[in-house]
Structure formats: structure tokens, C-alpha cells
């Protein structure tokens, strides 16, 4: 089918289009992988379809666990419809185990289980390289109010609990992840964006193998079989 939807936004892993319904956007996932804030870029055939299937399954599943989110439905292998929201320019990261930039910045050994989940805010701004910021920064920059920050933190921790449980059912440990939120016209805030192996660190429970984008970031091997493994495991339990 030929569509003439207006392109709203093109990111590193997906494009967002308007639809005939002003409350609905079409998301098209891309066969593209990037690292180092776009400094490294590769075509990875099959990734769009895998990520679309994985995030669709997860968003559907967590909604059943009481987590409101923007997902409406998957319309093709690499496309889905989502609710139109005003995206809050924050990357909300939760860490259950030390890894990645946290392990490097604080010299806390990768793999150390944290006593409690650590929540971080990063300001979404490519020119500034998505800096780590705190609650005061969020407020002074009018990104979110005190009340909204409280809600976002509470919701992110709730999402963490649901995701830990979901992944543990398929033999995967949730090390850390990044989520984003958006505002509806009425001001309510809900989960947006995606939850995929691009945005989570997922380790096999037994072998500790990386089942996520670190395979690409660290040049450990081919992403596709790894992402396929995550999808197959999730589909076995949740479809
Ligand atoms: P980090 O250890 O590199 O800060 O990443 C923490 C988590 O956030 C990890 O699961 C990957 C995810 N993430 C994104 O989804 N997008 C990003 O731009 C970054 C920096 C991290």
C-alpha cells in the first residue's frame, strides 16, 4: 500500500508519521543500528521487524499488568500505531545491576547487583550528548514539574518491577533500561517510545550472555540471532 503520511520525526531507529487521525501516529521501525550518539551507523537487515515485534509484545503485556502506554496496535512487521503524545525530553534510566556508563563513570564493577534500583535522568538533546541531569535541572529547565517528576519516578519503578518479572519468566535478567514518557492533552503522563534490546540490557540468566545492543556496541557478534532469541523466548511464554 502507498501511503502519503507526513513525516513528523526521523530518529536513529524509527520514523514517526502523522495519520488521518490527529490522535494517532504511525511508527516505522528502521533496519538501522547506531552507537556513539550516531557516530557509528550500520544497516542491519531484519532489526526493524524484530524490534517492532518485541516492543509490541512487551507494551501489550505490561498494559495487562496496569502500565498505561501509547501502544495501539502493530499494523505490519515493521510498523505500529501509537497514541499521539507530547514527548517529555527525558531518558529515564533504571539500573538493577552495574553496567555501561554507570560502571564506567563510578568505577563500580560491571555485574555488581545494586542494593536497590538506581534511577537516572538524561536530558534528550543530541547536541549536548544527552547529559545526565538531576531533579533540579529537570525543574529549572521546565522539562517537568515537581509533581510530574514524582509521578515519573514512581511509574518508572513500577515498570521496572513488571519488566524484571516478565524477563525472568523467559530466563533473562534485566540489568538496566531506558524509557520515555509523554503527556496527553489532558496532562496525564504515560509510557511512550519503545522497550527493545536496543533500550535494555538483557543478560541470559545462566550464561550471562548479552542479549541486547551491547553485542553491536562492543562488536561481540551479529545482532539478529540475539534479538531473534529474545523474541522467540517472549513469544513462547506470552503469545
Ligand atoms: P548506559 O549505560 O549507556 O547509560 O545505558 C543505560 C541503558 O539505557 C541501557 O540499557 C541502554 C539504554 N540507552 C538507550 O536506550 N539509549 C541511549 O541513548 C543510551 C545512552 C542508553
Per-residue pLDDT of the chain (239 residues; tens, 9 = 90+): 556 789 999 999 999 999 999 999 999 999 999 998 888 999 999 999 999 999 999 999 999 999 999 999 999 999 999 999 999 999 999 999 999 999 999 999 999 999 999 999 999 999 999 999 999 999 999 999 999 999 999 999 999 999 999 999 999 999 999 999 999 999 999 999 999 999 999 999 999 999 999 999 999 999 999 999 999 999 999 97
Q: pTM here?
A: 0.97
How remote is the CA of residue 213 from the centroid of ligand 1, in Å?
10
Question: Which atom in ligand 1 lies closest to the alpha carbon of residue 122?
Answer: 20
Question: Which atom in ligand 1 lies closest to the alpha carbon of residue 37?
Answer: 18
Rounded to an integer, what distance in angstroms lies between the CA atom of residue 104 and that of residue 95?
Answer: 14
3-state SS assignment for residue 24: strand
Instruction: Give me Rg for the CA atoms of the chain.
Output: 17
Rounded to an integer, what distance in angstroms lies between the CA atom of residue 210 and that of residue 170?
Answer: 14
How remote is the CA of residue 7 from the centroid of ligand 1, in Å?
26
Instruction: Give 182's contacts (C-beta < 8 A, 6+ positions apart).
Output: 70, 85, 86, 87, 88, 189, 190, 192
For ligand 1, mutation pick of 199, 215, 217, 218 (most atoms within 8 Å of CB): 199
Rounded to an integer, what distance in angstroms lies between the CA atom of residue 231 and that of residue 172?
Answer: 12
3-state SS assignment for residue 3: coil
CB neighbourhood size of 168 (10 A): 12
- Ligand 1 contacts (CB < 6 A) are 93, 99-102, 130, 176-178, 199-201
How remote is the CA of residue 178 from the centroid of ligand 1, in Å?
6
> How, if at all, do strands 24-29 and 71-76 pair?
unpaired
Question: Which set of grid coordinates corresponds to residue 194?
Answer: 519503545
Question: Which set of grid coordinates corresponds to residue 37?
Answer: 550518539
- Nearest Cα neighbor of 144 from 131, 135, 156 is 135
Question: Which atom in ligand 1 lies closest to the alpha carbon of residue 201?
Answer: 10
Question: Which atom in ligand 1 lies closest to the alpha carbon of residue 101?
Answer: 2
Rounded to an integer, what distance in angstroms lies between the CA atom of residue 20 and that of residue 13?
Answer: 23
How remote is the CA of residue 22 from the centroid of ligand 1, in Å?
31
Rounded to an integer, what distance in angstroms lies between the CA atom of residue 42 and that of residue 217?
Answer: 11
Closest C-alpha residue for ligand 1 atom 16: 199
3-state DSSP percent of the chain in helix, strand and coil, to 5: 30, 35, 35
Question: Which set of grid coordinates corresponds to residue 171?
Answer: 530466563
Amino acid at each position: 500500500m502507498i501511503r502519503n503520511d507526513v513525516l513528523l520525526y526521523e530518529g536513529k531507529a524509527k520514523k514517526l508519521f502523522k495519520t488521518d487521525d490527529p490522535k494517532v501516529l504511525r511508527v516505522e521501525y528502521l533496519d538501522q543500528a547506531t552507537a556513539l550518539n550516531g557516530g557509528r551507523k550500520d544497516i542491519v537487515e531484519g532489526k526493524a521487524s524484530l524490534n517492532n515485534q518485541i516492543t509490541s509484545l512487551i507494551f501489550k503485556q505490561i498494559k495487562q499488568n496496569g502500565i498505561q502506554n501509547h501502544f495501539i496496535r502493530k499494523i505490519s512487521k515493521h510498523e505500529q500505531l501509537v497514541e499521539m503524545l507530547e514527548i517529555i525530553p527525558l531518558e529515564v534510566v533504571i539500573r538493577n545491576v552495574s553496567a555501561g556508563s554507570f560502571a564506567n563513570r563510578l568505577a563500580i564493577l560491571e555485574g555488581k547487583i545494586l542494593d536497590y534500583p538506581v534511577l537516572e535522568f538524561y536530558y534528550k538533546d543530541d547536541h549536548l550528548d544527552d547529559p545526565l541531569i538531576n531533579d533540579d535541572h529537570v525543574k529549572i529547565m521546565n522539562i517537568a514539574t515537581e509533581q510530574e517528576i514524582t509521578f515519573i519516578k514512581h511509574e518508572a519503578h513500577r515498570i521496572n518491577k513488571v519488566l524484571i518479572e516478565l524477563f525472568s519468566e523467559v530466563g533473562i535478567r534485566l540489568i538496566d533500561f531506558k524509557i520515555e514518557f509523554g503527556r496527553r492533552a489532558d496532562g496525564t503522563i504515560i509510557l511512550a517510545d519503545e522497550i527493545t534490546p536496543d533500550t535494555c540490557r538483557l543478560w541470559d540468566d545462566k550464561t550471562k550472555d548479552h542479549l541486547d545492543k551491547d553485542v553491536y556496541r562492543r562488536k561481540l557478534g551479529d545482532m539478529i540471532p540475539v534479538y531473534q532469541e529474545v523474541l522467540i523466548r517472549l513469544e513462547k511464554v506470552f503469545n
